[in-house]
Structure 1
């Protein structure tokens, strides 16, 4: 029990004790130079409010892969894409503390994220812009349904009989519709049988729309809370900032049972342990991808004369090594197939209940087969890798950039109209979440 936190201070005073380190996001030199990590703050303090509703600038940028030869691709030619973006969104997080456990110095909280379009930083681009992209809804939904009833040939034929009458392999749609408002899946016509299967699916990409359904990639971010998370908040602890449980579980159950792929490790981009050595590896838990990812130490740096340590996402994150095979086994996907474990990719089927393929942007660090499938990609370390910069002594986040790409697997399938297409991983878009200090700080 902390002697700096007497009973008269109250629960939130105790919480504010450790949340005081977050103030270094605003007064870094003072905090770093004096290393004041044990100051006590009262309930309702500025510092506690900064945890509950951070004001540090965070932006979420989205880049589309616009397909310029869609008709030719259907006939078997190599896809040609051009990157369009960024579409920039101001990102705000709101946290609600629901429980504090004094004996272990942990608390539980929910986190809500909201994205607001920033037209100025988007450089003249608008959410009403049209992009031509692979029809992610058609591909992922079609694959899901076929997986469910693949051994019932006649039923598969019945379900898909009229499906392609209503949908194309490529869609030209508004940016906002693809991301948030949704693409309508008509359930009232001949292809309505498809909806009977879809309405039994539990996936964040689909939502009811009257008698129909809508498919969108990021709408769930703006409309739902994430959590609860249980976080360790004890100062000078080598697990400070670590997520100890998520949604009441100390381990995940998405991947192969009793395997390390299910481990919840590290922080979730709030705070890290202080005074870590250059041999240590930090982990970040990405609940949206149902996994923890390693960030080994890369280099020393300085931000406004403050000593800093830079950690870069492990080059093995999407490697096809044996230790990553547990991300495939539970999905029943053959190791080394285009759906899972090609070097540079990860299948999110067991996380999202949809065959979305995750990778680095532009297939950075990926197998040549990924880059050879599509024309128009240019992977670059500087703009496509992810990193986190921490105060060398405090463990507070000084800045970070986290970048991921979303793709769909293309397989020859008569029911989806892909019989003549090349098989491979088709890029849809990539994102980067960036947090950095404003000049006013």
Structure 2
């Protein structure tokens, strides 16, 4: 028996609505999730892998130096007054080299290569890099701080070594061109025959300090970033590819073959989180991200702040800070002991970079207020000095990132070295950096076309199919049963009440107000 056309159309419409439900809310999300798992893993020849190996555009690398305007008074114990000079803008090109896949455990090993180019046109107004900055001499002050910590009995020898290496300096401040201290380097003359300076130079060769380059004729070149420029980092990093479990993509599991560090205590030695260049997809607001920073030798755990958007793409903003090591149980293992932690907002970097410096947020943002009281000229501002990353939550792609950190040194006071007798013994800022990422229009459009446009089309299509399919079912059913519906509409009580003349007369005798009474008789 053939199905009536209206019911046939209703059945087809119902199928369309059902398909819209299944495809739009079940099949497509499943297919999308499966495809994303393949694309977001660090598999060979995928776009994510290519971008992970070599970022195809430059990152922003900005450096701000602190110039000490009252250095003569600071040498005599006064509170430092500083003026921020910057930014000095550099293009930073990042690449991973000597990349090797290991199928047996789904990992990749690599080394890092960074290249910097100075951009005078994008630096602060009028800055050329040749400006002379007056700042604490990191090498001299750092040497005294290191020895006072480990071998205080040797401070007298350090004093003699400083006089020999730096020709009896009159103070502990460095007067240096910006590009020299940042990349080109300053020369430390180790061609000395006196015992103290020779002993110090010999020790430096045995245990090199970060930023030192040994040159011919017993010369040492010192800079903040020169050793990183166009030089392959010797450390071999091992991360998960995420082919077996995409939620592990980019997770650091070893450095130089070691599954944990040896510089901190307890769980702070663990490698936790990704390498900071790739993150797992399907981020939720409640997820706590983890990123291991090789530069700071620790894991950071940014937390969700708010919803944002970038070039029309919805993003989630995560923020982070250095933390309060003394009062956070998770971070106390970054200290020698819980009662030996630095003030809030400071992290001792000595064990990490082999230099007695402290990391903080720029201008001591989110730090102990006492740090600001001991330095004049700082103005912490969360917009300018905070750490923030905007993620596209479905793919886990960082769309915009601003990672900021400041490096500080202690102006130690000690009677064992003449130049240090009146130093203010305070934590003093040296410089801070901002490493910024902002996906350009090309990659934003690629993300839109590969993910958001298909997702939006399916979103519209599924509602169209469900709506019009449901409407088609209703119309088909109504059209098929239209005769029955009409009969029901006009059907009801068909009985007719007949009115007889007698009834009509009785109705006329009935008053709408009440019963008609006889006229009253009047007696005359």
Q: TM-score range by the shorter chain?
A: 0.7 to 0.9
Look up the match of 2:423. 421
Give the paired residue count.
402
Look up the match of 2:471. none
Decide which of 264, 273, 280 is 1:266's aligned counterpart. 273
Worse overlay, 362-371 or 124-133: 124-133
Shift of residue 104 of structure 1? 3.3
Decide which of 177, 187, 193 is 1:174's aligned counterpart. 177
Contact persistence 1:268–1:285 (CA under 8 A): yes
Deviations 1:382-429 (A, max 9, x none): 111111211111111112110000111121124261211211101000
Shift of residue 128 of structure 1? 1.6
**Alignment partners' CA distance in 1, 2:311 and 2:402:** 18
**Alignment partners' CA distance in 2, 1:165 and 1:289:** 34
Hey, which of these two has a bigger chunk of strand by percent? 1
Deviations 1:273-296 (A, max 9, x none): 111221111111111111111101
Look up the match of 2:226. 219
Contact persistence 1:146–1:156 (CA under 8 A): no
Runs of 5+ in structure 1 lacking a partner?
1-32
**Alignment partners' CA distance in 2, 1:276 and 1:341:** 34
**Alignment partners' CA distance in 1, 2:32 and 2:310:** 16
Look up the match of 1:248. 257
SS in 2 for 1:389: strand
Look up the match of 1:277. 284
**Alignment partners' CA distance in 2, 1:143 and 1:315:** 22
Going from structure 1 to structure 2, the CA distance change for 1:42 and 1:162 (only over 3 Å counts) comes to: closer
Look up the match of 1:304. 311
Going from structure 1 to structure 2, the CA distance change for 1:273 and 1:42 (only over 3 Å counts) comes to: closer
Look up the match of 1:65. 66
Shift of residue 369 of structure 1? 1.4
Look up the match of 1:5. none
Shift of residue 149 of structure 1? 3.7
Shift of residue 166 of structure 1? 3.6
Contact persistence 1:57–1:438 (CA under 8 A): no
Decide which of 168, 180, 205 is 2:211's aligned counterpart. 205
Going from structure 1 to structure 2, the CA distance change for 1:315 and 1:170 (only over 3 Å counts) comes to: closer
Decide which of 229, 234, 241 is 2:242's aligned counterpart. 234
Contact persistence 1:204–1:352 (CA under 8 A): yes
**Alignment partners' CA distance in 1, 2:379 and 2:262:** 36
* Alignment root-mean-square deviation, CA: 2.7
**Alignment partners' CA distance in 1, 2:277 and 2:298:** 17
SS in 2 for 1:199: helix
**Alignment partners' CA distance in 2, 1:152 and 1:377:** 35
Look up the match of 1:15. none
Contact persistence 2:251–2:275 (CA under 8 A): yes
Going from structure 1 to structure 2, the CA distance change for 1:388 and 1:407 (only over 3 Å counts) comes to: same
Going from structure 1 to structure 2, the CA distance change for 1:253 and 1:72 (only over 3 Å counts) comes to: same
Decide which of 430, 433, 454 is 1:431's aligned counterpart. 433
1:192 aligned onto 2:200: no
Look up the match of 1:144. 146
SS in 2 for 1:411: coil
SS in 1 for 2:420: coil
Deviations 1:153-190 (A, max 9, x none): 76556545646644431111011111122222222345
Hey, which of these two has a bigger chunk of helix by percent? 2
Deviations 1:217-241 (A, max 9, x none): 1122113325322122225632222
Contact persistence 2:74–2:80 (CA under 8 A): yes
**Alignment partners' CA distance in 2, 1:428 and 1:154:** 26
SS in 2 for 1:355: coil
**Alignment partners' CA distance in 1, 2:346 and 2:322:** 12
State TM-score, norm by structure 2.
0.71
Look up the match of 2:80. 79
Deviations 1:265-321 (A, max 9, x none): 111222111112211111111111111111011112222232212111146365654
